[in-house]
Chains A and B, each alone.
Chain A
């Protein structure tokens, strides 16, 4: 084991140029994969931000008693897909209106004594795709008079969400496949260059495992260093780019560069790098062993 690892390190140093080129290839392929992941994660984040702004409003019967309101709130919380419920009394509703129409506050004068607004509840859903079913469940609750939400916006968002999910997944998977192929190919070239060495090892009675182990570790090392370099580069660029975006387009929701995001990038790239590097070289080598 130790011998194989030491040999791997020597092998990388002896074949300096081709090792460097493999490392560069791994770095570029994994950077592309990481960048695709970041774009996909941000699109998902933007979508989520917009989605969470949408809610369903249910108007209740006028003069409803506090007990009934309590029962309604409890019933609403039981509906699948509901994440949050708030009760807005007619008085609170009037305050909201006043805030909205500050310039024309006089229109609302005198409504305090004869408030025409019905009491209502605002329901937030866990996702835009839940809105329709939540709305219909709300209609079935006794004491609820009417339910409204932005039908058109909901439909569009739901469609965008679906496309985004598929496209994002497809993008990450295809970049994953591309990096596997590119890295695998560069490993294959390295091994072709060293097939003479492999033939001599076989000649003196080295087992397949003995020959493969150093190549496997070389692949692991290349994959690991390529992944760490790519992650470092991406995190640096992302840090700079998100800062710049926050300054120039403040209303654009950008996924903050925090612990989880950094961990995600590192995890995805390191795992891909190790897997492709290690198994790529072991598998490519098999052809020259038989």
Chain B
């Protein structure tokens, strides 16, 4: 599902963000990426949805060699994965419903199908009643749930999350992790970069720890630190 071989990523030719990364994630896995700020977690996530390309090595996601992917193919690749961010990245001038529907509109999905699937996704994140609200009228937790609904509405094979609870309080964070876990139960492969120690410890998932751009630990049913 996800395979990184000897991946190195440098910026401007000398700032090394990642080096010697070898990582394999199988279908249906739930993986936490942990480590201090600047360890390379975000860069790794960006490599997985082809926002960045590796300087060296090979990144293969869903059977696609991302380093060699043609620019015109990127949108079609991204439709197969969902991405969630710390800052939600919602379209501020569109309603909750429209934000989620947008992910389907770009795929030329028929209108009737869109409505059914959007309402279903909003049901999963428990936001059906707020479908006509605008993002700025929502709490941080609600906004992140909209972002998750947008990611899930296309039934992605992979769900990536970069610090999804970075701006949220603990009880709200709890809801978000539950949603990610629920998506995982339905068969979606989930990779979450996070600092939320308590949740990582409680959820007992695979933990990959990064430090200075290298993988220093990769354990099944692990905790935030050794």
Chain A residues in the interface with B (C-beta under 8 A): 3, 14, 197, 199-208, 210, 290
User: Are B107 and A3 closer than 8 Å at their CB atoms?
Assistant: no
User: Are B75 and A202 closer than 8 Å at their CB atoms?
Assistant: yes
Taken together as a complex, chains A and B put the C-alpha atoms of A203 and B91 apart, in Å, by 12
Q: Which residues of B contact A290 (CB under 8 A)?
A: 71
Q: Which residues of B contact A203 (CB under 8 A)?
A: 49, 78, 83, 89
* Per-residue contact bits, chain B 43-84, to A (CB 8 Å; 1 contact, 0 not): 000000100000000000000000000011001111100010
Taken together as a complex, chains A and B put the C-alpha atoms of A88 and B145 apart, in Å, by 96
User: Are A207 and B91 closer than 8 Å at their CB atoms?
Assistant: no
Select from chain A the residue with minimum beta-carbon distance to B71: A290
> A interface, by DSSP: helix, strand, loop or mixed?
helix
Taken together as a complex, chains A and B put the C-alpha atoms of A100 and B71 apart, in Å, by 83
- 21 cross-chain CB contacts under 8 A: A14-B93, A197-B91, A197-B93, A200-B89, A200-B90, A201-B102, A203-B49, A203-B83, A203-B89, A204-B102, A204-B106, A205-B77, A205-B78, A205-B106, A205-B107, A207-B72, A207-B75, A207-B106, A208-B72, A208-B75, A290-B71
With most chain B CB atoms within 10 A of its CB, the pick from A3, A202, A207, A210 is A207
Taken together as a complex, chains A and B put the C-alpha atoms of A254 and B103 apart, in Å, by 59
Select from chain A the residue with minimum beta-carbon distance to B78: A205
> Given A200-B91, A201-B106, 17 other A-B contacts at CB below 8 A?
A14-B93, A197-B93, A199-B89, A200-B90, A201-B102, A202-B78, A203-B49, A203-B89, A204-B78, A204-B106, A204-B150, A205-B75, A205-B78, A205-B79, A205-B103, A205-B106, A290-B71
User: Are A204 and B103 closer than 8 Å at their CB atoms?
Assistant: yes
Chain B residues in the interface with A (C-beta under 8 A): 49, 71-72, 75-79, 83, 89-91, 93, 102-103, 105-107, 150
Taken together as a complex, chains A and B put the C-alpha atoms of A11 and B102 apart, in Å, by 14
Q: Which residues of A contact B76 (CB under 8 A)?
A: 205
Select from chain B the residue with minimum beta-carbon distance to A206: B106
Taken together as a complex, chains A and B put the C-alpha atoms of A224 and B93 apart, in Å, by 25
Q: Which residues of B contact A205 (CB under 8 A)?
A: 75-79, 103, 106-107
Shortest C-beta distance, B17 to chain A (Å), equals 20
Q: Which residues of B contact A197 (CB under 8 A)?
A: 91, 93
Select from chain A the residue with minimum beta-carbon distance to B90: A200
Q: Which residues of A contact B49 (CB under 8 A)?
A: 203
Closest 3 CB pairs of A and B: A205-B78, A205-B79, A206-B106
Taken together as a complex, chains A and B put the C-alpha atoms of A14 and B103 apart, in Å, by 20
With most chain B CB atoms within 10 A of its CB, the pick from A197, A200, A204, A290 is A204
Taken together as a complex, chains A and B put the C-alpha atoms of A141 and B78 apart, in Å, by 84
Shortest C-beta distance, B92 to chain A (Å), equals 8
Select from chain B the residue with minimum beta-carbon distance to A201: B106
Taken together as a complex, chains A and B put the C-alpha atoms of A204 and B100 apart, in Å, by 10
User: Are B75 and A206 closer than 8 Å at their CB atoms?
Assistant: yes
With most chain B CB atoms within 10 A of its CB, the pick from A200, A205, A206, A290 is A205
Shortest C-beta distance, A79 to chain B (Å), equals 64
Select from chain A the residue with minimum beta-carbon distance to B103: A204
With most chain B CB atoms within 10 A of its CB, the pick from A200, A208, A210 is A200
Taken together as a complex, chains A and B put the C-alpha atoms of A205 and B71 apart, in Å, by 12
Q: Which residues of B contact A200 (CB under 8 A)?
A: 89-91
Taken together as a complex, chains A and B put the C-alpha atoms of A222 and B19 apart, in Å, by 50
Taken together as a complex, chains A and B put the C-alpha atoms of A15 and B106 apart, in Å, by 21
Taken together as a complex, chains A and B put the C-alpha atoms of A205 and B72 apart, in Å, by 11
